[in-house]
Structure 1
Amino acid sequence: MWEYQHTAETVATPETVWRLWADVPGWRSWNAEIEKVEIDGPFAVGSQITMTPPDDEPILLKLTQVEENALFVDQMDAGDFTVTTVHRIEPLGDGRSRIVYRTEIDGPAADQVGPQLGPAITSDFPETVAALVRLAEAR
């Protein structure tokens, strides 16, 4: 298994961050690595998100866990490996929260695929989370 985690603290409320996460078409306003993004239903377990990075093929993600104002998990199933990303908001007290992005690559091909694909997927997490925090704190 390959794994990576990035965290950032914010004074934005979990509800504010959640509204930005649940607005899938709006992800482009804080994630520069998305050229196009669509969801095939509500922001709920079972819905599929099609995310297209700039100059790349669309990526199909399935929402596997959704807990309002707390977390959502998306998963890409590539057959011999899966990429699972957990997006979590942890209240810290004193009006602060921690945003956590955690990606795991698992499955029979994870040891071969993870070291190359993992950093390609997660390299923008610091910038993406920072942009999410800036937007959430401005609201």
Structure 2
Amino acid sequence: MWEYQHSAETTATPEALWRHWSAVDQWPEWNDGVATIEIDGPFAAGSVFTMTPPGEEPLRMRLTEVVPGKLFTDELDAGDFVVRTVHSLEPVDGGRTRVVYRTEISGPAADQVGPQIGPAITADFPDVVAALVRRAES
């Protein structure tokens, strides 16, 4: 298994952060890693979305877990490996919120594929989380 995690703390409320996460059609406005995105259904477990990173081929992913105001998990099943990202909101002392993005690559090919694609998948996490935080704080 390959894994990576990035987190940041903010004064933004979980509700404010969740509004931006659950408005999938607005992700390209604050996430530079998303050129276009379409979701086939509500922001709920089981819904499939197609996300196209700038200059790349579209990726078809599934929401596997959605707990409003707390977390959502998306998954890309590539057959011999699975890329799973958990996006979570954790309360922190002083009324702050910790935003966490955690990616795991698992499956038979994970040990080979993880070190190859994992860093590319997660390279923008610090920028994406910072942009989300700025948007939710404003």
How many angstroms does 1:29 deviate by?
1.3
2:117 — aligned with what?
Answer: 117
Which whole-Å deviations, capped at 9, do the CAs of 1:15-46 have from their partners, x for residues lacking one?
A: 01001000001011111011101110000000
CA RMSD of aligned residues (A): 0.6
1: CA distance, partners of 2:114 / 2:92 = 32
Question: Structure 1 vs Structure 2: percent identity of aligned residues?
Answer: 64
Which TM-score applies when normalising by structure 1? 0.98
Question: Which 5+ residue runs of structure 1 have no aligned equivalent?
Answer: none
**Other-structure match for 2:131:** 131
| Partner residue in 2 for 1:36 | 36
1:1-139 matched pairs, under 5 angstroms: 1-138=1-138
Write out per-residue CA displacement over residues 32-63 of structure 1, whole angstroms, 9 at most, x where no aligned residue: 01110111000000001110011110001100
**Helix, strand or coil for the counterpart of 1:94?**
helix
The separation in 1 between residues aligned to 2:13 and 2:22, in whole angstroms, is 14
What stretches of structure 2 of length at least 5 have no aligned partner?
none
Distance, in Å, in 2 between the alignment partners of 1:7 and 1:66 is: 19
Letter aligned with residue 36 of structure 1: T
TM-score normalized by structure 2? 0.99
The one-letter amino acid paired with 1:102 is: R
Deviations 1:70-93 (A, max 9, x none): 000000000000000000000113
Give the C-alpha shift of residue 116 in structure 1. 1.0
- Segments ≥4 residues shifted beyond 2 Å: none
Distance 1:94 1:55 in 2: 41
Taking the aligned partners of 2:81 and 2:65, their CA distance within structure 1 comes to 19
Q: For residue 94 of structure 1, report the CA deviation from its aligned partner.
A: 1.7
Deviations 1:64-114 (A, max 9, x none): 000000000000000000000000000113220000000000000001100
Say which SS state the counterpart of residue 133 (structure 1) adopts.
helix
